[in-house]
Every structure is written in structure tokens, then in C-alpha cells.
């Protein structure tokens, strides 16, 4: 994935079972500042100067629009975010994805699995109910369809931890076939 990052901001849409911190540590360019839009401590570097130093110290970090503004003050950055984290932030999610897919000074990368079944397998607990599996499968199917409307610079497929002989995997496949 290092060939994609060229000293410009990177948005990694993390559709895996890994945390955003794991993605930031294992993928991308070491020259980029690793950011987490939900972690106030990563919004700005310690070398960033403010007109009012108490501005960030007293800020609670809850406003995603302001968080993204802070992140954009320093470049290049790498922002990894999971689609589920943005479910309750509809307008922000759409604007962020539009921004990342339409402007050439940011790379939009989708980190995912090759199949919906693998994505669900790696994101769900081993004791998940049929309803939880159905909900996750429906979410992943809808997510894949929604991503077709965005221009993604690169899709990186990662290997799944799935074992075809695993009972949970077979259960997910059966429910997926019922949905389709």
C-alpha cells in the first residue's frame, strides 16, 4: 500500500476487523501523521502552534467537523476510519466520502475483504445470533453498494481469518445465501 501514499493526505476506509490504530500502524507511509478523528490526542501534533493554546486543551473532541478541520491543518496525514463509526454521522460521512473521492489532493483507500461473508466473519463474535449475523450481512451488502457511487483510488484486499470448515463461517454463508 506504500505506493499509494505520496506526501498527500490519505483517508483509509477500514472495513476490516482491525482497529483504526492497527491499520494506521501497519499500512501507509511513515511520513504521514497518523490520525484518529475520534481521538482528541491525535487531532494535532505537539508541534502545532495555536493563537490560543487552550483552544485544543479545553476542547472535548466531540464535533467531527471541527476534528476534521484540525486534522487538515497538518499534512500529510493518514486518517483511518471504520464505516460503522460514522453510522450516526450521516451528513459528515457523505461529505467526507465525497471529499475523498472527488479531490485529487487526497487518496481514498478502501481496506476490505474480497467477500461480504469474510467481512462479516471477521467483524462478528463467535456466539452471534442469526439476527445479528443477518443484520451484519445486510449492513455489509448495503455498504458495498453505497461505495459504488464513490471514486476510490485503491482497494486493498486483506486475507481473512476464516476457516471454511468453521461452524460460524458455514452459518454466515447459509444466511448470506438466504438473503441473496
Per-residue pLDDT at 143: 93
Per-residue pLDDT at 5: 46
CB neighbourhood size of 3 (10 A):
7
- 13-64 pLDDT, tens digit each: 999 989 998 998 888 767 788 888 888 777 776 555 555 666 767 777 788 9
Q: How far apart are CA 89 and CA 175, in angstroms?
A: 29
Nearest Cα to Cα of residue 178 among 124, 134, 129: 134
- Sequence ranges of the domains in the chain: 10-179
**HSE-up (13 A, CA, CB side) for residue 154:** 17
> DSSP 3-state helix, strand, coil percentages of the chain (rounded to 5)?
45, 15, 45
- Kindly tell me if the per-residue pLDDT of 109 is higher than 50: yes
- Kindly tell me if the per-residue pLDDT of 2 is higher than 60: no
- 139-169 pLDDT, tens digit each: 999 999 999 999 999 999 998 766 667 888 8
Amino acid at each position: 500500500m506504500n505506493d499509494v501514499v505520496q506526501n498527500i493526505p490519505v483517508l483509509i476506509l477500514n472495513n476490516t476487523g482491525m482497529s483504526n490504530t492497527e491499520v494506521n500502524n501497519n499500512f501507509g507511509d511513515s511520513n504521514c501523521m497518523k490520525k484518529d478523528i475520534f481521538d482528541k490526542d491525535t487531532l494535532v501534533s505537539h508541534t502545532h502552534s495555536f493563537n490560543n493554546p487552550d483552544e485544543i486543551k479545553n476542547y472535548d473532541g466531540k464535533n467531527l467537523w471541527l476534528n476534521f478541520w484540525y486534522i487538515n491543518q497538518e499534512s500529510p496525514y493518514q486518517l483511518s476510519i471504520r464505516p460503522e463509526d460514522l453510522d450516526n454521522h450521516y451528513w459528515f460521512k457523505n461529505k467526507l466520502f465525497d471529499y475523498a473521492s472527488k479531490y485529487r489532493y487526497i487518496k481514498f483507500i478502501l481496506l476490505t475483504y474480497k467477500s461480504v461473508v469474510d467481512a462479516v466473519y471477521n467483524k462478528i463474535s463467535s456466539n452471534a445470533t442469526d439476527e445479528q449475523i443477518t443484520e451484519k450481512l445486510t449492513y455489509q451488502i448495503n455498504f458495498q453498494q453505497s461505495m459504488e457511487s464513490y471514486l476510490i483510488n485503491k482497494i486493498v484486499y486483506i486475507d481473512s481469518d476464516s476457516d471454511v470448515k468453521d461452524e460460524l463461517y458455514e452459518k454466515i454463508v447459509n444466511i448470506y445465501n438466504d438473503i441473496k
